[in-house]
Amino acid sequence: MKKYFKPILLLLTVFFAGAFTGRWWESKITDYDVQAAAKIMDLDFTHAEVDSLIDGLEDFRNDYRDNRNKELANSDSPALVFRPFPAGFQPDQKQDPVVFTDPGQVKMPANKDDLAFYTVAQLGALLRSKKITSLELTEFFLARLKKFDPQLHCVITLTEDLAREQAKRADREIAQGKFRGPLHGIPYGAKDLLAQKDYKTTWGAMPYKDQMLDYDATVISKLDAAGAVLVAKLTMGALAWGDVWYGGMTRNPWDPSTGSSGSSAGSASSVSAGLLPFAIGTETLGSIVSPSTVCGVTGLRPTFGRVSRAGAMALCWSLDKIGPICRSAEDCAMVLQAIAGPDLKDQSVIDAAFNYQTNWKNNRKLKVGYLKTAFDRNYPFHSQDSTALQTLRDMGYELVPIELPNMGDIGFILDAEAAAAFDDLTRSGRDDLLVRQIKRAWPNVFRQARFIPAVEYIRANRLRAKLIENMAKVFDGIDLYVNPSFASASLAITNYTGHPSITVPDGFRDGKPTSITFTGKLFDEGTIVAVAQAFQERTDFEGRRPGGF
């Protein structure tokens, strides 16, 4: 029995040490481990090759552990900065005067509730002519948010104290003739991944539902400088996926039994229902385009590098973009003008001109490409999109058939960066607190992304660089192109190449809105806004209201 004493004692020591440390033993990397990992990477090593690299893998693992002892916040970005520039590209830096349409003499409606569906431009005219005050507008929209949020679930936090303070300041300044611009005194809401000091920033996710960040996002600061009034932090799909957050599902005002899509779920829902004149959303891979389509509003996704993400939740550093959701294309331009430009915090932001003039709407010499193969397909919104194309032809635009390059299988770039952004969440096990736990939901995506080799991630980005070059060729001979919002590869491609787009309503199907998207050259949002605004002035889809609101 004595000969078994020491081995048994050793096993008991390991057992109890594991019980207290959470690690049963410090296992060495084995030949089997390497062969199994290599299989995932589609590689095949000989036993001799594996034996030669095991010591190096142990060193790597020790390095990983050392790095994890160094604290990183979600706001700490990588040293690598993505620029969506093809060879030889230089953004225009000559800033011309920005000229918006004069709404003329705007009257107060006989029914005050109609104010809920006025554009930013119309509300601004009422404020400047002193027919209403910013505080009155703020109280009006706060009341609507409180009334309809139980039905739509689009609000996480009302910022009432801040809103009243900002509105009173705007009223004082307007009374003194100190006009800050078209957003001065206009209430708005922000997707709740943008930090606002003294208010929660929950990212729509249970693990962060009580999170307080002691700073303001750059976009929030810029809107404050423009005189806008923040009245609400709006819902988002948890960690920017879908329309499901820890408070339930955000609803579509056109059919409250369905979701508003996401992840800018509350931003689109609230503007659609007339609870806010405009809202800020974000897009990584469709999170402005999709809810704008579902809710029948206008969403502008700016060029990557146009708007600072400082103070916003990072999901994918080389894909995240911040943009406005409004009632009209020109309203989106007003908001973009206020939030664009560098801040010395987000190194991806480019100091490029944002040029727009209202008379551009009448420029029918623009060559508008259209994705012929995509539009020729039979898809659910084909009828509405075909009518939109004919409307553009009737307006005098030359429509030029084009096709897009093949994107290739590079979509896992997003997964890899997102897993890095939420590494601590995965390792802590708190990802179990997220509401959605299905296979294609963040907890499992973060886990499976751990198996993406760095070599494959870099190779995918090399292919992405070739895609950017190929997309530059698409714009040879055209000024912009129009595409189905979902029934083509454009949404995915242009999110990875950084191109701007604006999505506008183009009809209805089964009582719910449909949309079409205008996509532009890098940093040329002014052109797509002009064509989209001209289209909206020819049609009236953006002026329709969902019943009951």
Pairing state between β 480-484 and 367-371: parallel
Q: Which residue has the tokens 């303001």?
A: 216
- Per the DSSP assignment, residues forming a β-bridge with 207 are none
CA distances from 126 to 110, 133, 548 (A): 14, 8, 25
- Is 287 annotated in the active site? yes
- Please check whether residue 183 is in contact with residue 334, taking contact to mean a CB–CB distance below 8 angstroms: yes
- Report the amino acid identity of residue 385: D
Q: Which residue has the tokens 């955000």?
A: 250
Say how far apart CA 337 and CA 100 lie, in whole Å: 11
- Is 130 annotated in the active site? no
Of residues 77, 261, 263, 290, which has the active-site annotation?
263
- Please check whether residue 532 is in contact with residue 504, taking contact to mean a CB–CB distance below 8 angstroms: yes
- Per the DSSP assignment, residues forming a β-bridge with 402 are 371
Of residues 191, 222, 321, 361, which has the active-site annotation?
191
- Is 222 annotated in the active site? no
Beta strand residue intervals within 273-388, DSSP E: 279-283, 298-301, 321-326, 367-371
Residues 6+ apart with CB under 8 A from 225: 180, 338
Q: What is the dihedral of CA 72, 76, 78, 82, to 10 degrees?
A: 160
Q: Report the interhelical angle of 329-339 vs 525-538 (nearest 10°).
A: 150
Say how far apart CA 433 and CA 293 lie, in whole Å: 30
Q: Which two tokens stand for residue 42?
A: 């589609």
Say how far apart CA 485 and CA 483 lie, in whole Å: 6
Q: Which two tokens stand for residue 77?
A: 């970005």
DSSP 27-92: PPP-HHHHHHHHHHTT----HHHHHHHHHHHHHHHHHHHHHHTS---TT---S-----PPTT----
Of residues 77, 287, 292, 308, which has the active-site annotation?
287
Residue 365: strand, helix, or coil: coil
Residue 144: strand, helix, or coil: helix
If one counts every other C-beta atom within 10 angstroms of the C-beta of residue 64, the result is 9
Catalytic residues: 191, 263, 287
